[in-house]
């Protein structure tokens, strides 16, 4: 309960706040400014000096913030979301936002300040504001303080367009929806959990030039039944067995090329890891010709076509273009078997667009290294991994890393499968918005981060399909019999899931898959506690592999 002195202090704060509202021109206050101030002074004079001082300090902070209260302009809680979506004139963004009390006044006014800072507002009323300016205000249209939910509608007219071709740009969207608002003094945090791009605006973004069908075609697989709108259990193209060159750094050209060759004897898709490029100990102009020869050797031996994903990330777009041209020139007639990798989060939308527009015939591989700084569930600012993935599709990524949905070593959850659905389907439900992609080509989920054959059956059961690129670095190069057998074990894990067989029973009949259990005994013990007994004596398995000695 409040004491009388505390109640009078609270009253004084409210009186001064309303008086300040009069100064700002609010017309719905029913008392004169003079009356409010006189009563307020009487209230505070009745307090002892210590309470007076604290009261004045709080009033000062709050009244300053009240001077920024723009809720009469930037909050329109009567707007209907269904109508906003139907009219296609706004980008809608759902945030989790918490005001920073006591600096913030209340939830709605803080949300309105957030919308103002994200669009046409500033910290004072300016004489240059006109009717057109106010017509492109971003406005808060829904709040739920208990859930910390704030939804803002951004008019599409706010966003920048290219002077060369009139197309829209992702960097302009990010500048507004996740720009200055991340440093506001009255906001504890604000994180984007979903974003809706109206279909007619979405058509102004590049989107992918090629999708997974390109890779399936190059690998010699059927693609006629591919349908991104309907989530089928298995599309014709199916699972792509991939890996990352390991170790991620340190290999010299000869060793790098040999590692590629060994994997390609069993797998489909091999990629540079995100930091690999043109290190002094492994120059691009030395290693790439060797990789080309390794690819030719592997194809001659197996009769299968394979893929290489080359990292062309750089600070300078001209350097990226030079790297892309060099790599494709070296592969020559095998160029369609080359994907170009861009570290899309650290290098940004410009780098992704540079690759998309200069090499439209290549599969564009978006690596998201660094994204956890803003997407992690532990991070309360920024945006989620789902939002990042939607951005990647708009930019034109053919594939993007999406984690392992709780089945690998990286931070992720089983519900992250919704990210894959959002990327691959033409209409998909997000946390707050259903996105219509307006026929934009799909982006494929690339699974990476601690995966191996032992973990894969559960992964596929959770995802419900296998139309992904699985890049098992340790899962291939960590297999006891080498990377080719590691790749084969991953393919067998997929076939086990596809056939609906029990993994232990399947392992009894398939050597490479069985020996994945002794390659990754920690995972096997956790997922299949009886494997040592069931597989003992089969495929040179003793059942003692990897046991922890007490």
Distance CA 383, CA 392 (A): 13
Q: Does residue 156 contact residue 90 with C-beta atoms inside 8 Å?
A: yes
Helices 417-424/385-395 angle, 10° precision = 20
Distance CA 19, CA 24 (A): 9
Q: Which helix (H) or strand (E) holds 135?
A: helix 131-135
Residue tagged active-site, from 246, 401, 417, 510: 246
Q: Rounded distance, CA 188 to CA 15, Å? A: 26
In angstroms, how far is the first alpha carbon of the chain from the final one? 59
Helix (H) or strand (E) holding 319: helix 317-331
**Chain-centre distance of CA 294, in angstroms?**
34
* Residue from 349, 84, 470, 396 nearest 209 by CA: 396
Per the structure block, which two tokens stand in for 496? 């086990």
Q: Which of 191, 367, 401, 465 is catalytic?
A: 367
CB 117 within 8 A of CB 51: no
Strand bridging mode 269-271 / 240-244: parallel
Strand order in the sheet with 382-383: 139-144, 149-155, 90-99, 187-196, 382-383
Residue 542, token pair as written in the block: 């003793």
List the structure tokens of 49.
């000096």
Q: Is 417 one of the annotated active-site residues of the chain?
A: no
CA distance 393 to 390: 5
Whether the bond between 102 and the residue before it is cis, its omega within 30 degrees of 0, is yes
CA distance 286 to 264: 20
DSSP label at residue 406: T
Q: Say if residues 497 and 460 touch (Cβ distance below 8 Å).
A: yes
Rg (CA), the chain: 29
Q: 536 catalytic, yes or no?
A: no
For residue 501, give both structure tokens: 């067989």
Q: For tokens 């945090």, what's the residue? A: 189
Please give the full DSSP string across 326-361, using - where no structure is assigned: HHHHHHGGGGGGEEEEEEHHHHHHHHHHHHHHH-TT
Residues with a known catalytic role: 246, 367
């Amino acid at each position: 309960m409040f004491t009388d002195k505390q109640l009078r202090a609270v009253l004084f704060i409210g009186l001064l706040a309303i008086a300040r509202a009069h100064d700002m021109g609010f017309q719905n206050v029913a008392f004169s400014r003079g009356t409010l101030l006189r009563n307020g002074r009487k209230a505070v004079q009745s307090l002892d000096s210590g309470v007076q001082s604290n009261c004045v300090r709080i009033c000062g902070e709050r009244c300053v913030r009240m001077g920024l209260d723009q809720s009469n302009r930037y909050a329109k809680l009567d707007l209907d979301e269904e109508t906003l979506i139907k009219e296609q004139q706004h980008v809608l963004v759902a945030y989790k936002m918490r005001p920073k009390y006591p600096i913030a006044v209340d939830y709605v006014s803080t949300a309105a300040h957030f919308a103002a800072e994200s669009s046409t507002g500033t910290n004072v009323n300016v004489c240059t504001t006109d009717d057109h300016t106010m017509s492109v205000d971003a406005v808060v249209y829904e709040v739920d303080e208990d859930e910390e939910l704030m939804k803002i509608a951004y008019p599409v007219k706010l966003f920048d367009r290219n002077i060369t071709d009139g197309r829209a740009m992702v960097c302009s969207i990010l500048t507004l929806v996740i720009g200055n608002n991340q440093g506001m003094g009255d906001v504890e945090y604000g994180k984007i959990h979903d974003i809706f791009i109206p279909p007619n605006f979405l058509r102004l973004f590049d989107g992918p030039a090629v999708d997974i069908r390109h890779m399936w075609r190059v690998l010699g697989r059927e693609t006629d039944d591919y349908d991104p709108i309907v989530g089928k259990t298995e599309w014709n193209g199916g699972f792509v067995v991939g890996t990352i060159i390991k170790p991620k750094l340190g290999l010299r050209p000869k060793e790098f090329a040999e590692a590629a060759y060994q994997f390609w004897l069993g797998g489909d898709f091999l990629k540079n890891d995100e930091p690999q490029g043109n290190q002094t100990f492994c120059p691009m102009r030395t290693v790439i010709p060797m990789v080309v020869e390794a690819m030719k050797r592997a194809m001659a031996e197996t009769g299968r076509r394979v893929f290489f994903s080359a990292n062309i990330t750089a600070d300078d777009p001209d350097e990226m273009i030079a790297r892309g041209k060099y790599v494709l020139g070296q592969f020559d007639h095998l160029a369609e078997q080359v994907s170009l990798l861009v570290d899309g989060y650290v290098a940004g939308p410009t780098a992704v667009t540079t690759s998309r527009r200069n090499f439209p015939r290549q599969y564009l591989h978006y690596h998201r290294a660094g994204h956890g700084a803003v997407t992690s569930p532990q991070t309360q600012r920024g945006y989620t991994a789902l939002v990042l993935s939607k951005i990647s599709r708009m930019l034109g990524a053919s594939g993007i890393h999406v984690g392992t949905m709780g089945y690998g070593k990286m931070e992720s959850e089983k519900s992250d499968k919704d990210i894959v659905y959002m990327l691959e389907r033409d209409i998909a439900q997000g946390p707050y918005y259903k996105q219509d992609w307006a026929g934009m080509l799909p982006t494929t989920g690339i699974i990476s981060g601690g995966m191996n054959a032992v973990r894969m059956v559960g992964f596929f059961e959770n995802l419900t399909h296998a139309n992904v690129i699985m890049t098992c670095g340790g899962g291939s190069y960590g297999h006891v019999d080498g990377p080719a057998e590691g790749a084969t074990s991953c393919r067998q894990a997929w076939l086990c899931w596809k056939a609906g067989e029990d993994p232990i029973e399947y392992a009894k009949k398939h050597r490479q898959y069985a020996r994945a259990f002794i390659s990754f005994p920690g995972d096997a013990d956790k997922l299949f506690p009886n494997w040592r007994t069931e597989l003992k004596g089969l495929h040179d398995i003793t059942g003692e592999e990897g046991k922890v000695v007490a």
